[in-house]
Structures are given as structure tokens and as C-alpha cells.
Amino acid sequence: MFIFIRYGDDQQLAVNPCCAAINFLNYIKNQVGLCSADSVDLCDEAGSIAGLLEFQPLEQALTLLTPKATYIPMLITKTGSIPEYTPMLNEVETICPGLMNKLKRNQAKSADGKHMQRPLSAGKSHAQQQPTTGGRPGQRLAVAADRAADAKRSPSSLIKNMAKKSQRA
């Protein structure tokens, strides 16, 4: 499975997202010419942010992306609580007319408390994409809480914790 990244002076890059989200984002940052400390996410042509930064760093990026879709990398800067997105595609309004307006509309919906729809992967419904443990609903909530706690940790601390767990086993 591949997705396409448009950046720079309308350059296009085919990328395989079948890897850890952190590796995927670092590769894109490198290709676009950003440093690893920059915050970057992907925006589809409908103006929806993929949400890779909110994803667990070691899970596969493909679960949030649509196969064969085209995405534009967005540099994220925070001013207050609202993020500002800067497209890494020159002349974005000429190449993708209305993209920035769609993105602003989606941000406004998100700020109003409405849940922003994320793209579905490979024709799956949102119910099929939800993490499950195969157990009771309470167990699923515990898994979701663990994932939320892991998302707040740095990627290096997650890797160290995984190494410790594998040594114990």
C-alpha cells in the first residue's frame, strides 16, 4: 500500500506507511527538508488532518491513512491552544484550490466541540477501526486509557519500557 505526498514545488513522493508512525513522520520530515524537532502532520485534499501526532508512536501509520490518497505535509505551530498549519507545498491554493479554507472550516468544527471525521482506511468503518481486546467494554476502556497515557510519553521512553518488558519475559 502506498500514499502520495505532495510538497515543495509540486513534487510528489510515493510513501509506504506500513511502519511505525514515528518513523513514518521522521522520513517525511527528512524528505520535505524539516528538522526532526518540527511538528508535522498530514492533511488530505479534503482539508482533514490525519492526526498522526496523536497516534501511538510505535503503531503503524497506515491505520489512519487511506491507500492511494494524496496528502500534504503541514508544519504545526501552536499559538495558545489553537494549532496553526503551514502547508509544505508551495502555491497550495493554485495546486489544491480551497484546501486552506476547508482546513479552517474543519478546525472551526473541531473547536466548536464537534468531532472532526478522520479518513477511513481501506474502506473500513469507524467501528472496525476501534481498538478492541476481545473482552468486555470495561477492558476496552482500560486499553484506551493505557494508549492515551503512552501517547503522552516520549518515543524514547516507550522504547526503553518495551526493552525492559522484553528482558523480563
Least confident of 20-24, 96-100, 119-123, 149-153: 119-123
Nearest CA-CA partner of 71 in 3, 119, 128, 122: 3
Q: What is the reported pLDDT for 12?
A: 94
Q: Residue 129 is inside which H or E element, if any?
A: helix 126-129
pLDDT single digits (tens) 151-164: 455 555 555 555 55
70-79 and 82-87 strand pairing: antiparallel
Q: What is the reported pLDDT for 149?
A: 52
Q: Where are the domains of the chain?
A: 3-119, 137-168
Q: And the C-alpha cell for 3?
A: 500514499
CATH class given for the domain over 3-119? alpha beta
Nearest CA-CA partner of 74 in 98, 96, 94, 44: 44
**pTM of structure:** 0.63
Please calculate the CA angle 122-123-127 and round it to the nearest 5 degrees: 110
pLDDT single digits (tens) 36-80: 889 999 999 899 999 888 888 888 998 889 999 999 999 999 888
